[in-house]
A and B are shown apart, each in its own frame.
Chain A
């Protein structure tokens, strides 16, 4: 069955860096676009980034552009989120999610599998 397992969360000081990982199994990882979505404590869902099936195309929310980088290793079936210059407002549970398609310009748009999330706390 499809499994997505995030790791790498923790407590980090403002301005520092962190890398999240999402290990995928149970499907052909290299055929699927992938997303990162976050949720601040007690708040709603916020889309963070999308990467196409082959890693060629990447898209970001304005709030993270230039600080967070999505990338993937299709040989290791793993998705990553490199987080730099972290701010207090980046504190959230970060979910990776599989898109049903390959990503733009191909068919894409719904996330039918999600990981359990990993908590990132940015605090001094």
Chain B
């Protein structure tokens, strides 16, 4: 199985800060990577697909980049509504696998 390693596992930042989460795959997955946001008690929400494509309706302060084994997820200006846990997920090879998650909090 492909292992997805996310870091950090949690972070605390101020409103309007730039926040970056990294995700590393244990093998080359090209750009077969999604990013999801999950708020407490809610279902996950797709934000980014194919490593860098923004899902319709997702604010432009959110972006994704990377290919191969190393990927980044960035919020350019953190807002209170961004408080959540973020997960990367690869879909290059079954079984689908998720990263361990990054909990984002406001300082």
Chain A residues engaging chain B, CB cutoff 8 angstroms: 35, 37, 44-47, 50, 59-62, 95, 97, 100, 104, 108-112, 114-117
Contact = CB atoms under 8 A, between A and B. Distances in A.
B49 to A, nearest CB: 4
Interface string B58-70: 0000000000000
Given A46-B98, A47-B95, A110-B91, A115 B34 contact: no
B46 A110 contact: yes
For the residues of A in contact with B, the DSSP-based class is: strand
Contacts of A35: 96
Residues of B in contact with A, size category: 20 to 34
B62 to A, nearest CB: 15
B46 A47 contact: no
The 8 closest A-B CB pairs, nearest first, are A109-B91, A114-B43, A47-B96, A110-B49, A45-B98, A44-B101, A112-B46, A61-B95
Candidate in A35, A95, A111 with the most chain B CB atoms within 10 angstroms: A111
Contact of A50 (B42, B50, B96, B97): B96
B95 A62 contact: yes
A47 B97 contact: yes
B99 to A, nearest CB: 8
B87 interface: yes
Contacts of B36: 45
A115 B100 contact: no
Nearest to B9: A44
A10 to B, nearest CB: 19
A114 B45 contact: yes
Nearest to B43: A114
Contacts of B96: 35, 47, 50
B100 A44 contact: yes
A98 to B, nearest CB: 10
